[in-house]
Structure 1
C-alpha cells in the first residue's frame, strides 16, 4: 500500500484529535459499563444472558413509521430525541413490572389486608393507596438502576461496599427472602388444604408448592415471555377471584370512597396501619425488579435507548401496581363488610379466613370458601416463584456465583423449603401460624433499610448512573419516604419487642443487637451521602 501524502495524514490526525474530546464527553454522560467483547463478562454472573433477552426493536435512532417518514415527522422526531409512543413497544416491555407487583399481593399482604379490614373497616384504604404510591416510587428507582447501568442492585452493591459490608448485606437480603418465602409457601399450602377439603395436610401442601415452583421456573427455558405469561394468568386468577368475592358481598360503596379519600387514624387501629405500610416494601423485591428489567435488550451506553426503556417501564409498573391496589382493596373491603365491629374481627388470620367467610356469606352458586382458596393459591404460587427468582439474583449478584440456573434455584429453594416443612409440622394450628406470621413480619421489617439505603445511595451517584442519577429534589423525596418507612417499621419493632422481651438477660441482648443494627444503618447512610466529607472539610477549616 502506498504511503499517505503528508497533508492527508495531517488532516486525519487533526480530525481524530478533534473527535476525541467529543467522544469522551459523550461517553462521560453515561455510566461506564463493560462491553460485550470484554473477557470480564465471562467471569461475572449476569441476570440474563444476551440470548435470553427479549428484543424490543429500539434502534440507533427513534423508530418511525413509513407514512411518518414521508410526511417529514420522522425528521422532527429524531431531532427532538423523543420517539412517538408505541403500544406495541409497551406490550414488549410489559412483564417485569407485573412480576414485581406480585410482592404486593403475596399471602403476607393478603393477611394484612384482611386484618386491616376486619379491625379498621374501610378507614385505612387511604393509607393503602399512599403506601402503594410509595412502593411505586421505590420500584421505579430499582428499575432505573437496572436499566441505566445494565447491572442489578446486588451486583452494584458487590462493587460499592467493602467485603464485610457486602457480606452483611447479602446475609440480610437472604434472611429477608427466606422470611418472605416461608409466608408465601405456607399461604399456598393453606390454599391447597382448603381446596382439598382438608385431605392434604399443611406439610403436603408445602412439598407440592416446592415441586411445582420448579415446574413453573422450567418454562423460562422456552423464553422469558412464556414465564411472564404464567404470571399474567396467576394475577388474572387473583383479580377474578377477589373481584367475585367483592361483588358477592356487596360492600358499601360510599364508605369505600370515603375510606380512600378521607385520611382517618385512631389509636385502636395504629397496629393495622403500620402493618399496611410495612407490607408494601419487601426487601427482596427491590433486588428482583432491578434484575427483571434487564430481560429486554437495551444498550445502557445509548442514552435514547435507556430513556425510552425507562419511559415504558414506568408506565408498565404504574399499571401493574394499580392492579395490585385494586386486588388489595377488594380483600380489605370484603372483610370490612363481613367482620368490622364483630367479636370475630380480632381472631381472623390467613388459616381460618376462608371458614369465617363461608360462615358469614354462605355458599351461593360457587362457595366463597373455594373462591378464597383459588385466589390464595394463585397468590402463594406466584409469590413463591418470584421469591425463588429473587434468590437467584441476590446470591449470584452478591457472591458472583457463575452457576447454572437450576442449581441456583435448588439452593435458594432449599433455604426456604427446609425451614417451612419444619414450620408446617409444628405450627399446624391457626393461633400458632398467626404468632409465626408476626415474627416473620418483624424479620422482614428489620431488613428494609438494607435494601432501601443502598438503592437510594447508588441511584444518586453520578459515577454509577451518569446522566440518569436522580436530582436533588428527587433525592429529598426518596430519603423522606425511606425515613418514613424505616420509622414506621421501627415503631412496629418497638411495639412487638416491648411485649415479647422479658427479663434482664433478654433485654441486655436486645440492647446490644439494637446498637449493632443502628450502627450498621448509620454507616450505610453516612457512606451514601456527602455528610462525612462536609464534616471533615469543616473540621479542617476550623483548624487551619
Structure 2
C-alpha cells in the first residue's frame, strides 16, 4: 500500500476550525491538555447510547434479569479497544478510515465497501429517528403520530447540525448536554426502582448465566451487535482530526494518542453506566413478569395503553412498551422522564449518524460538494426508508423491524473491523505507530470473535423467518457476502506481508523467471 505521506492531504472535514492544544510543562499528564482533547470520544460514545442500544438493554433486563450485565461490560471493553485503533489511524495519518480505504482499495471493492457502510448507517439512522418519533408520541400522549415525529426529527436535526458554525467547542458542549440529559433521565428511573445492588454486581462481574436458554443467548448476541457499530469506527477516525496536532512531530502524535485513549475510556465508562441504569431498571421491575400482571397494574392506574399487551404470555417490551409499563408501575412522571431520555438518545445519535454519513460519502467517493448539499444528500438517503416505515407501520408494532435492523448492522461489522485492523497494522501507513505483534493477534482474534457472534445472530434471525424463498435468497446473498469478506481478509494478509497468499507476487516472479533464459540467449 502507498504511504499517505506520498498522497494528497486528507479531505477537509466539516469542521472549519481546529482546537489548539495548550502548551504545558507537565511531562506525564496535564488536565488542561486532556480538556483540549475532550470531545471526539464523547461524540463517538453516543453510538453506544442510541435507541437501538437502549432497546437491547431493556430487553436484556426483562428477559434475563441482571445475568447478562457481564456481556455488556465485555462488549464495551472490546468497543473501546476498537475505537482506540480508529483514533490512532486518524491522528497518525491525518485521514479518516473512509479516506484511507479510498486510497488503498481498487475501485470495485471500494464501491462495494461504501455501499455496505451506507446500509449500516441507514439501518442505524432508522432506529434513531424512529426512537425520537416514539419519544414524541409518548410525550404528547399519542397526539403526535409516528410520521409527524419523523418529520420533526428531520427538521430539528438540520438545525442542530449547523451549530458548529458557532464554534466546534459549543457543538461538543451541546452533545455533552444531551448525554447529561440521558444520564439524569435513566438515573432517575434507576433511583426510583432501587435495583438489588448485590445481584447487579454479581451479574456484572460473574461471567455466567444460570438457567439461561436460547432466548437469553440470542439476547447476549444482540447486546454485542448493538454496542459495536460499524459506522462508529469511521466516525471516530474522522472526529480526532479536529485537534491541532503536528503529525510530523512524533512526540505530539504520541501524546495525542494517549489523551484520546483516556478521553474515550471516560466517555465509554459514562455510556456503560447509562446502559447499566436501563438494564437494572427492567431487570428489577419486570424480569419474569407476564402480560397479565402488566394489564392488571395498568388497569389499576387507569392507563389508556392496556390494549397494547396481549392477554397471555411473558412480558415482551420495546422502547414504546417500556415507557408504558414504567408509567403503570411508577407513575406518569416515570413515563415522561423515560421519553425525555429516549428523545435525547435519538436526537444526539441521529446527528452523529449524519456526520458519519458525510465522512463516509466524502471519503469513499472523494466528493467536494458544498456542505449543505452533502448534508441534504446524506439525510435523504437515510430518511426516505424511515419515513415510509413511519407512514405504513404502527408505533406499537416496531419490534420486528428493530430486530431486522440489528441484523443488518451486524452483517456490516466486518466492513469496518477488517479495514481498521489492516491499515493500523501496516508500517507504510502508520510508520512507528503500527500495531505490534500482540495487537495484531489480539485485534485479529477480537475481530474474528465479534464477527462470529454477529453471524450467529444473523443465522438465528434468518432461520426464524420460516420461508423457503427467503432461505434460498439468504443462501445466495451469503455466498456473495462471504466472498467479499474473504477478499478483505486476503487484502489484509497481503498488506501485512504474508507472502504465501500473495499470488500476484508469485505470478510476477514466475514471469521474471521465464524471461531470464531469453535474455541469456
Fold in common (TM above 0.5) = yes
- Give the Å deviation of 1:267: 2.0
In structure 2, the partner of 1:147 is 91
In structure 1, the partner of 2:5 is 33
**Cα displacement string for residues 50-85 of structure 1 (whole angstroms, at most 9, x for unaligned residues):** x51111135xxxx427xxxxxxxxxxxxxxxxx331
- Give the Å deviation of 1:338: 1.1
In structure 2, the partner of 1:471 is 436
- Equivalent pair of 2:288/2:315 in contact (CA under 8 Å): no
- Equivalent pair of 1:151/1:291 in contact (CA under 8 Å): yes
**Cα displacement string for residues 456-510 of structure 1 (whole angstroms, at most 9, x for unaligned residues):** 000000011000101010111111111111000110111111121522x433322
- Equivalent pair of 1:45/1:401 in contact (CA under 8 Å): no
In structure 2, the partner of 1:134 is 78
- Give the Å deviation of 1:533: 1.8
Residue of structure 2 aligned with 1:412, choices 368, 372, 378? 378
In structure 2, the partner of 1:338 is 285
In structure 1, the partner of 2:478 is 514
- Equivalent pair of 1:31/1:148 in contact (CA under 8 Å): no
Q: 1:527 to 1:334 in 2, by over 3 A?
A: same
Distance 2:117 2:137 in 1: 30
Distance 1:220 1:375 in 2: 23
- Give the Å deviation of 1:31: 6.0
Partner of 2:464, secondary structure, is helix
- Give the Å deviation of 1:532: 5.6
In structure 2, the partner of 1:401 is 367
RMSD: 2.1
- Equivalent pair of 2:138/2:339 in contact (CA under 8 Å): yes
Distance 1:326 1:311 in 2: 23
Is 1:260 the counterpart of 2:229 in the alignment?
no
- Equivalent pair of 1:182/1:416 in contact (CA under 8 Å): yes
**Cα displacement string for residues 291-315 of structure 1 (whole angstroms, at most 9, x for unaligned residues):** 0000001122211111010111000
In structure 1, the partner of 2:145 is 201
Task: Tell me which moved more, 96-105 or 222-231.
Answer: 222-231
In structure 2, the partner of 1:19 is none
Q: How many residues align?
A: 481
Partner of 1:352, secondary structure, is helix
In structure 2, the partner of 1:77 is none
1:177-192 map, 5 Å: 177-192=121-136
Residue of structure 1 aligned with 2:30, choices 77, 86, 95? 86
Residue of structure 1 aligned with 2:357, choices 372, 388, 391? 391
Is 1:247 the counterpart of 2:195 in the alignment?
no
- Equivalent pair of 2:178/2:344 in contact (CA under 8 Å): yes
Q: 1:536 to 1:454 in 2, by over 3 A?
A: closer
**Cα displacement string for residues 371-391 of structure 1 (whole angstroms, at most 9, x for unaligned residues):** 101100000000010000111
Is 1:361 the counterpart of 2:336 in the alignment?
no
Q: Which TM-score applies when normalising by structure 1?
A: 0.85
Structure 2 alignment gaps of length 5 or more: 292-313, 514-521
In structure 1, the partner of 2:491 is 527
Residue of structure 2 aligned with 1:167, choices 111, 116, 129? 111
Which of the pair has more CA radius of gyration? 1
Q: Which TM-score applies when normalising by structure 2?
A: 0.89
Structure 1 alignment gaps of length 5 or more: 1-29, 66-82
Distance 2:137 2:316 in 1: 20
- Equivalent pair of 1:47/1:152 in contact (CA under 8 Å): no
- Equivalent pair of 1:285/1:390 in contact (CA under 8 Å): yes
- Give the Å deviation of 1:425: 1.0
Residue of structure 1 aligned with 2:181, choices 237, 240, 260? 237
In structure 2, the partner of 1:270 is 217
Is 1:317 the counterpart of 2:264 in the alignment?
yes
- Give the Å deviation of 1:45: 2.9
- Equivalent pair of 1:48/1:295 in contact (CA under 8 Å): no
- Give the Å deviation of 1:34: 6.3
Q: 1:175 to 1:32 in 2, by over 3 A?
A: closer
Residue of structure 2 aligned with 1:488, choices 447, 453, 458? 453
